[in-house]
């Protein structure tokens, strides 16, 4: 598959992740009487990854996340030369999704941007968690997300079930992380909404790049050693 087609798939898939996941938080989480709440938002994020894994996994690998791309490259599952193009496509998809979501959300009378599903810590953490707590949470949750991905897509794992494990894994991660940081584990997902919130969201965005990338790289380094995996040759 050509790089251009793979980048298009990554852009579309990341669009769906941000539009579906953040859209559920912005449009449906607190809707009167029918709000889906934390559980619904967590499930929405998991469903976006599960559905896209089946839709575009055979095209691009369905990373949808700069941290996933870095973790797979670190684990020698993905060629380093494609890391930056993949990350760029993912960020573009996230920004387009946030733009469409903003347009829809602002169509309601009395709309205020608020936190617009942005990620934050301290006074901008949903549960008031500190910077160190947010940092540790994002590193650990991303580490576990990459561990799930690397394990579920291992050649020794049952074939065909990886999207289910990964989607449910992301759902669990959101159930844990939403009170702490609103859950990032994905720098692209954090970047899209932050551009519309501005101010504090832009100022705190660094953490939601640094922590997920660090957690993903650590998983990419440790997983082969933990499982005695013989790394597959990166796709040309």
Residue at token pair 């993905």: 78
User: Taking the domains of the chain in order of start, what are their residue ranges?
Assistant: 3-108+116-227
pLDDT tens per residue across all 236 residues of the chain: 899 999 999 999 999 999 999 999 999 987 767 779 999 999 999 999 999 999 999 999 999 999 999 999 999 999 999 999 999 999 999 999 999 999 999 999 888 898 999 999 999 999 999 999 999 999 999 999 999 999 999 988 888 899 999 999 999 999 999 999 999 999 999 999 999 999 999 999 999 999 999 999 999 999 988 887 555 555 54
Taking phi first (over 0 means left), then psi (-120 to 50 degrees means alpha), and beta for anything else, what does residue 115 get? alpha
Which residue, among 120, 97, 106, 128, has the nearest Cα to 21 in the 3D structure? Answer: 97
Q: CA 216, 213, 2, 51: dihedral to nearest 10 degrees?
A: 60
Q: How far is CA 220 from CA 62, 73, 227, in A?
A: 17, 7, 12
CATH architecture under which domain 3-108+116-227 falls: Up-down Bundle (1.20)
Q: Are 47 and 30 in contact (CB under 8 A)?
A: no
Q: How far apart are CA 28 and CA 161, in angstroms?
A: 29
- Most distant CA atoms of the chain, gap in Å: 57
Question: What predicted TM-score, i.e. pTM, was given to this entire model?
Answer: 0.94
């Amino acid at each position: 598959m050509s790089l251009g087609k793979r980048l298009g798939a990554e852009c579309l898939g990341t669009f769906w992740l941000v539009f579906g996941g953040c859209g559920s938080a912005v449009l449906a989480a607190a809707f009167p009487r029918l709000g889906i709440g934390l559980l619904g938002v967590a499930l929405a994020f998991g469903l976006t990854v599960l559905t896209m894994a089946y839709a575009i996994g055979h095209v691009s690998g369905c990373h949808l996340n700069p941290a996933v791309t870095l973790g797979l490259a670190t684990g020698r599952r993905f060629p380093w030369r494609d890391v930056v193009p993949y990350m760029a496509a993912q960020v573009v998809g996230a920004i387009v999704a946030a733009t469409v979501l903003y347009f829809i959300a602002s169509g309601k009378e009395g709309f205020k941007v608020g936190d617009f599903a942005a990620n934050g810590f301290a006074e901008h953490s949903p549960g008031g968690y500190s910077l160190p707590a947010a940092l540790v949470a994002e590193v650990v949750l991303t580490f576990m997300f990459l561990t799930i991905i690397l394990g579920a897509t291992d050649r020794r794992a049952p074939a065909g079930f990886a999207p289910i494990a990964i989607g449910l894994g992301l759902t669990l991660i959101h159930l844990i992380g939403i009170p702490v940081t609103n859950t990032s584990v994905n720098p692209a997902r954090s970047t899209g909404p932050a551009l519309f919130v501005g101010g504090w969201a832009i100022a705190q965005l660094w953490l939601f790049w640094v922590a997920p990338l660090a957690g993903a790289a650590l998983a990419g380094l440790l997983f082969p050693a933990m499982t005695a995996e013989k790394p597959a040759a990166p796709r040309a």
